[in-house]
Amino acid sequence: MPDIFYPKTEQDVSDFIFDNYNKSNPIEIVGHGSKKIGRLIQSSQTLSLSSMSGILEYFPEELYIKVLPGTSLSEIETTLKQKNQFFGFEPNDLGYLYDGKSNPGSIGGVVSCNLSGPGRFKNGALRDHVLGFKSVNGSGGKVKSGGTVVKNVTGYDLSKIISGAYGTLCAITEINLKVSPLPEFEETFLVNDIDYVEAIEIFRIALDSSLEISGACFFPAANASFLTLNDVKKDTSVLGLRIQGPKASVIERMQSLNKMFKDKATSMLDTYQTSIFWREIKNFEGYANSKEFVCKISLPITNMVNFLKFFEKTNFKYFLDWGGNIAWCSLENQSDLDKMKIFCLKHDGHLTVLKANDNFRKSEEFLTNSDSNIKILSKKLKESFDPKGILNPNKMYAGI
């Protein structure tokens, strides 16, 4: 078992990493341990940032919050809700996926994994909401980037680089995040009895309109049981379009959707039901306690249709999110997962494995990108931030 170090300050983190840099000791960086994404790490030391917890600054009128990396996401979201604010990127709670119950983990883990939920396609990904950060690189040096306001950036925007780096570049010690006002009202427009080709066309029509759709998902009939609401049919496909904003505006835009798709089988979820519906989607609650592989597949919209057609006879479950650009898939056989990786490589896509058994995580890649330059760039960034490769080694790719 590796030794676990619980720093209290940024200086503690710097001293610890500097000491292990001199000894060339590999270090695993963890928060609350709630996100089992990435390859398993062989390390002699563990740096746990869980004790570096707390909200340092919160100015609702300035729309930003400054927090320590070990602060629980639930604590932050509770604080924001008291001021009618939230994170527009709607971070996922992966606890359901791994443990069958809520465990949102720390904000440092959310940032490191660049976790973004249903609102991502309208409000931007997590990396677009990071205003600045402090961290310690792989040689113990302190790094500071950005600030507390949205502004133009010259040179590298390091906030975007560390978001989704899975702790391979630095140990985050402080994070400044943009927050947004909670929508005043929301409802969800449902369309039933359609196939994925029709769903993609509905997404295109709705998202090209001026209705400001803030959530767009599709469940085929075989996976409609993922959703638990009684008002959602379980024997047919379900497409959901979320409308948010002032109540009068939401009602008017829902009426526009009714007119737009008057030839379809439609219904509506009220505000209360809408909250539950999108929470289940955001947190993958329908895949809770599954022993199968779970992965995210991102493809250009036309290639997503080809993907679903190509794998029509494959035994797997899926639902579409982000207006059809993402498929969240659950499948039993690794051979099918390998075929999906090959498809993504050939069709301008990428695949991320969110859940897998330990044997897979020891030896297989969990990131597959059609653009080989991404892996090359990741290697160069790793060498720049972490010259001896001691931080979460091999977490993203073998050798990086």
What is the percentage of the chain residues whose pLDDT exceeds 90?
A: 91
d(CA 383, CA 169): 9
CB-based contacts of 15, cutoff 8 Å, min separation 6: 140
The arithmetic mean of pLDDT across residues 178-203, rounded, is: 98
pLDDT at residue 161 tops 50: yes
Where does the chain hold its CATH 3.30.70.2190 domain(s)? 185-282
Return the higher-pLDDT residue of 289 and 317: 317
Q: Is pLDDT of 234 > 80?
A: yes
The single residue listed with the structure tokens 């090959």 is 342
Please tell me the predicted confidence (pLDDT) of residue 372: 87
User: Taking the domain 285-369, which CATH number applies?
Assistant: 3.30.70
Residues of the chain with CATH 3.30.465.10: 1-182+370-400
- The pLDDT of residue 166 is 96
pLDDT higher than 50, residue 178: yes
Report the pLDDT value the prediction gives residue 106, as an integer from 0 to 100: 97
Average of per-residue pLDDT across 131-159? 79
For 304-318, letters b (16+ CB in 10 Å) and e give bbebbeebeeeebbb
Q: How far is CA 102 from the centre of its chain?
A: 15
Q: Mapping DSSP to helix (H, G, I), strand (E, B) and coil, where does residue 81 land?
A: helix
* Reported confidence tier of residue 44, pLDDT bands at 50, 70, 90: confident
Residue 154 predicted with pLDDT over 50:
no
pLDDT tens-place string over residues 316-329: 999 999 999 999 99
Cα separation, 369 vs 371, in Å, equals: 5
What average pLDDT does the chain have? Answer: 95
CATH fold for domain 1-182+370-400: 3.30.465
**pLDDT tier at 361, thresholds 50, 70, 90:** very high
In the chain, the percentage of residues whose pLDDT exceeds 70 is: 97
pLDDT value, residue 148: 59
Q: What is the pTM of this model?
A: 0.94
Residue 117, judged by CB atoms within 10 A of its CB (0-12, 13-18, 19+), counts as buried
Question: For the domain bounded by 185-282, which CATH number is listed?
Answer: 3.30.70.2190
What ranges make up the beta strands (E) of the chain? 3-5, 27-30, 45-48, 55-59, 64-67, 85-86, 130-137, 142-146, 170-178, 180-181, 185-192, 213-219, 238-245, 265-269, 293-298, 316-321, 326-331, 350-355, 367-369
Select, from the ranges 119-123, 145-149, 270-274, 285-289, the one with the highest average predicted confidence (pLDDT).
Answer: 270-274
**Weakest-pLDDT range from 1-5, 240-244, 394-398:** 1-5
Express each pLDDT in 85-128 by its tens digit. 999 999 999 999 999 999 999 999 999 999 999 999 999 999 99
**Model confidence over 193-209: pLDDT tens digits?**
999 999 999 999 999 99
Residue 212 above 90 pLDDT? yes
The gap between the terminal CA atoms of the chain, to the nearest Å, is 23
pLDDT greater than 70 at residue 3: yes
Q: Is the pLDDT of residue 293 over 70?
A: yes
pLDDT, position 290: 86
